[in-house]
Amino acid sequence: MTKKETNETFQSEQGIHTDFLEKMTYGDYLQLDTLLGSQKRLSNHHDEMLFIIIHQVSELWLKLIIHEIKAATIAIQQGKLQASFKMLARVSKIQSQIIQAWDVLSTLTPAEYMEFRDKLGNASGFQSYQYRLVEFVLGYKTPHIMKIYKKDEELYTILKDAYEAPGLYDVSIQALAKEGFTINKDVLQRDFSKTYHKDTSVEQAWLEVYKHKEKYWNLYQLAEKLVDIEDWFQQWRFRHMKTVERIIGHKTGTGGSSGVGYLKKVLDHYFFPELWEIRTKL
């Protein structure tokens, strides 16, 4: 488009607002001065900007995932399963975005990363409190992790509340019980600060849901939404592991973890084990 054509197009849009001396702008609403001023490199290396932005963008997506899962959890508790489906479907779409972020980060080569890695000190994605919140709302509780956040009392309280609260799968199991399925009382009354482990009564309930999906259509849809989230989460974990391996090999992580070794271990964990077990038994 030529400059003349651009001017003509702009002039044809007579309703466009241009006077913002006393009005809120797009940048004001999104607080772009703060957002875009938050990329502070500790080195002069060109690729540190990539490293910072990828992680900041991922944290924003994690914030939205937490927002949606918490709302979906409340909706399920209130029996509003249809409302929860929209939120859980959105979570899956968000997950696809953070998975693709690893493709961008993988353009960082080992030689380039080594030129500024020492500037990170002991800071590591392992310490991401939002990632821990996602694990907590999905039901994966690890007590030793809480020690990382004791220096910030307000943050520690937020994490502790999520740590002790029922997760997304807990309220889904409660929904099974409300529908009339017989669920082990130890499961329904369990200590939510403990990581969930599979139970035969829960497996039998989901098996019935899948065998008679027309009768239990809402629960069937809920189950598939949960499987979607777990599937995408495992893909995210795998891409994380392979990106780390590609960039630093099997070095120890800056936060002190075993790096690739640790990331491989968590690949074997399931948030919703019965929903995967029944696929063999159907």
Annotated binding site for substrate: 51-55, 113, 117, 254
Expressed in angstroms, the distance from the first to the final Cα of the chain is 59
Q: Is 131 exposed, middle or buried (0-12, 13-18, 19+ CB in 10 A)?
A: middle
> How many CB atoms lie under 10 A from the CB of residue 231?
13
Residue pair 86/94 in contact (Cβ under 8 Å)? The answer is no
Distance between CA 151 and CA 170 in Å, rounded? 30
CA-based nearest residue to 196, from 263, 124, 140: 140
- Tokens 């209130």 belong to 78
Annotated binding site: 51-55, 113, 117, 240, 254
Q: Which residues are annotated as a binding site for heme?
A: 240
